[in-house]
A and B are shown apart, each in its own frame.
Chain A
């Protein structure tokens, strides 16, 4: 408890908190992000209906417009989809799925990219050469194309039943593999600077192992650029997942993400039920926009050159 209060005080007096208070975009987007996070985590509690429980659905209520449109009911604030599912509930669960994939794939690419970057920067030589060459090659293709091809190929390679079971994992891995390069490049650069500093020389002299030097001593000193990349790339990962799911790849249709909802809604766009696709679309845009705003602020706030 005491440490918690200490951390809170340290945070209140930090440069970061000061900068946050002075930038309305930053704290508004931070609040929006917190709200999104809360909605995603608490989706099962907040949702008026469990959209995956077939017994709770009533086909008579299908294709109901939002409450503020003629023919809408207050019971279904954002209307219902073709199967009579309440849009508010579907979107909450969809957001949960989108954020889950976004955060998980960002963490995975962070672990892969940071490890490779640390090793490349610290060890150097041939290993560095191989890793950076691979990074160069991958960087010459757009990340979304890499993710799409990994996901698409896994679909052709694996038998359908196996793929169904693994599809969530495959999306996460595909997006992670498409985005590790940025971490690796940045971390390699700063590691090369750090490794000649005195504190590294000191722990090396007392005979500490390489892995321990890298993860216990170098890593904490290079975290701020990693943090910036991670924030911005959660936005990118959410977008990539949404795109894959929109194209019919991505997460399985049984647990739809925002991208899946947009795709399903797009299929019925011409019968006039715009809300089924537009509302999840707006939710997605709000999420990505606030991640980008917050990430931009964090980048400027943590960049000592701009101060």
Chain B
């Protein structure tokens, strides 16, 4: 049973990756004819054919595709048109910025959103809860780029407290450039992280609130009350714990969206991460970078979704019994 579920999930993941890799492969092969890019305008037919042969473009398509996959697995995606640098190196140099931003934003969203949701769930009629709910509705309706612009306007332009673009000073830890070790790095991180976190924060708050209210209505909480347990123990040891399971799964899924949404935040704050890279690549027509990004982001989502599915299965015994 378990094995069948596991295999099904993995097969699903494999299908997605094959489809995306085919898309990425066709981008590589059919867009912006690689031969003309390399030989120049005046090349003869013979020269073109020679180049075609040297690049392996005269081989049958399935073989070319397999070779493409082979190279992709080793992280080889050719050379970026824009930076004249191997794509793998361009991506590796941008990845730390995006991951650090997403990590801090996720910590913010969970660390602030869950307590707010717990409070709103425990005291649904209090004035503060009403306020929080209005805030969350606004949080969902304000696009993150508008939030970002308003933050820049206040904190960079009027108050001149925080830098409006870039990562500040970064320190190299091996191949990883981190902004965590300098004051200017943290100052630069603050506004982008808040902007990115805001939407997820309201999401976690709403989710925690509904879950908490649902759990508080359940039989075992009534029973705990009947046993005369203290209010605090009921709220935090019994109710909150059961609330957290679905929240953790959603949090896992949201990590992927954070990396996707960081495209917007990175554009507003000129944050040198993957998101800014893909936007620049699209406007420049940098096909190798786009193709590699597609594969990378698909892989990321497939891994996250599969892991979350499996975790769900491991955590919730009811799912196992049904199959």
Q: Smallest distance from the beta carbon of B140 to chain A beta carbons, Å?
A: 6
Q: A246 touching B31 by the CB < 8 A rule?
A: no
Residues of A within 8 A of B250 (CB): none
Closest to A289 in B: B141
Q: Which of A246, A270, A274, A278 contacts B145 (CB 8 A)?
A: A246
Q: Does A248 interact with chain B (Cβ within 8 Å)?
A: yes
Q: A156 touching B285 by the CB < 8 A rule?
A: yes
Residues of A within 8 A of B256 (CB): 142
Q: Does B201 interact with chain A (Cβ within 8 Å)?
A: no
Closest to A293 in B: B137
Residues of B within 8 A of A181 (CB): none
Q: Smallest distance from the beta carbon of A285 to chain B beta carbons, Å?
A: 5
Q: B264 touching A246 by the CB < 8 A rule?
A: yes
Q: Which of A145, A156, A269, A285 contacts B282 (CB 8 A)?
A: A156
Tell which of B137, B145, B146, B290 has the most Cβ of chain A within 10 Å: B146
Residues of A within 8 A of B153 (CB): 269, 274, 278
Q: Which of A136, A142, A157, A285 contacts B143 (CB 8 A)?
A: A285
Q: A140 touching B302 by the CB < 8 A rule?
A: yes
Q: A144 touching B260 by the CB < 8 A rule?
A: yes
Q: A148 touching B141 by the CB < 8 A rule?
A: no
Residues of B within 8 A of A285 (CB): 138, 141-143, 146
From known contacts A152-B290, A156-B290, infer whether A142 and B264 are also in contact, taking CB-CB under 8 Å. Answer: no
Question: CB-defined interface of B149-185 with A at 8 Å, one 1/0 digit per residue?
Answer: 1101100010000001000000000000000000000
Q: Does B305 interact with chain A (Cβ within 8 Å)?
A: yes
A229-287: which have CB < 8 Å to B? Answer: 235, 239, 242-243, 246-249, 262, 266, 269-270, 272, 274, 277-278, 281, 284-285
Q: How far is the CA of A293 from the CA of B12 in the complex (A)?
A: 37
Q: Does B69 interact with chain A (Cβ within 8 Å)?
A: no
Q: B302 touching A284 by the CB < 8 A rule?
A: no
Q: Does A202 interact with chain B (Cβ within 8 Å)?
A: no
Q: A269 touching B149 by the CB < 8 A rule?
A: yes
Q: Does B116 interact with chain A (Cβ within 8 Å)?
A: no
Q: Does B216 interact with chain A (Cβ within 8 Å)?
A: no
Residues of B within 8 A of A249 (CB): 282
Closest to A244 in B: B264
Q: How far is the CA of A33 from the CA of B254 in the complex (A)?
A: 31
Q: How far is the CA of A248 from the CA of B301 in the complex (A)?
A: 25
Q: Does A35 interact with chain B (Cβ within 8 Å)?
A: no
From known contacts A270-B157, A289-B138, infer whether A153 and B260 are also in contact, taking CB-CB under 8 Å. Answer: no
A126-155: which have CB < 8 Å to B? Answer: 133, 136-137, 140-142, 144-145, 148-149, 152-153, 155
Interface class of chain A by DSSP: helix
Residues of A within 8 A of B143 (CB): 239, 242-243, 246, 281, 284-285, 288
Q: Does A182 interact with chain B (Cβ within 8 Å)?
A: no
Q: Does A292 interact with chain B (Cβ within 8 Å)?
A: yes
Residues of A within 8 A of B152 (CB): 269
Q: Does B120 interact with chain A (Cβ within 8 Å)?
A: no
Q: B260 touching A145 by the CB < 8 A rule?
A: yes
Residues of A within 8 A of B15 (CB): 137
Q: B141 touching A292 by the CB < 8 A rule?
A: yes
Q: B141 touching A155 by the CB < 8 A rule?
A: no
Question: CB-defined interface of B20-39 with A at 8 Å, one 1/0 digit per residue?
Answer: 00000001000110000000
Q: B157 touching A272 by the CB < 8 A rule?
A: yes
Q: How far is the CA of A285 from the CA of B32 in the complex (A)?
A: 40
Residues of B within 8 A of A133 (CB): 12
Residues of B within 8 A of A288 (CB): 141-143
Residues of B within 8 A of A149 (CB): 294
Q: A277 touching B31 by the CB < 8 A rule?
A: no
Residues of A within 8 A of B282 (CB): 152, 155-156, 249
B101-119: which have CB < 8 Å to A? Answer: none
Closest to B291 in A: A156
B250-302: which have CB < 8 Å to A? Answer: 256-257, 260-261, 263-264, 267-268, 278-279, 282-283, 285, 287, 290, 294, 297-298, 301-302
Q: B279 touching A248 by the CB < 8 A rule?
A: yes
Interface residues of B (CB under 8 A from A): 12, 15-16, 19, 27, 31-32, 137-138, 140-143, 145-146, 149-150, 152-153, 157, 164, 256-257, 260-261, 263-264, 267-268, 278-279, 282-283, 285, 287, 290, 294, 297-298, 301-302, 305
Instruction: Sample 13 A-B pairs with CB under 8 A, ordered by A number.
Output: A140-B16, A156-B32, A235-B141, A243-B145, A246-B145, A246-B267, A262-B146, A266-B145, A272-B157, A278-B153, A281-B146, A281-B150, A292-B140
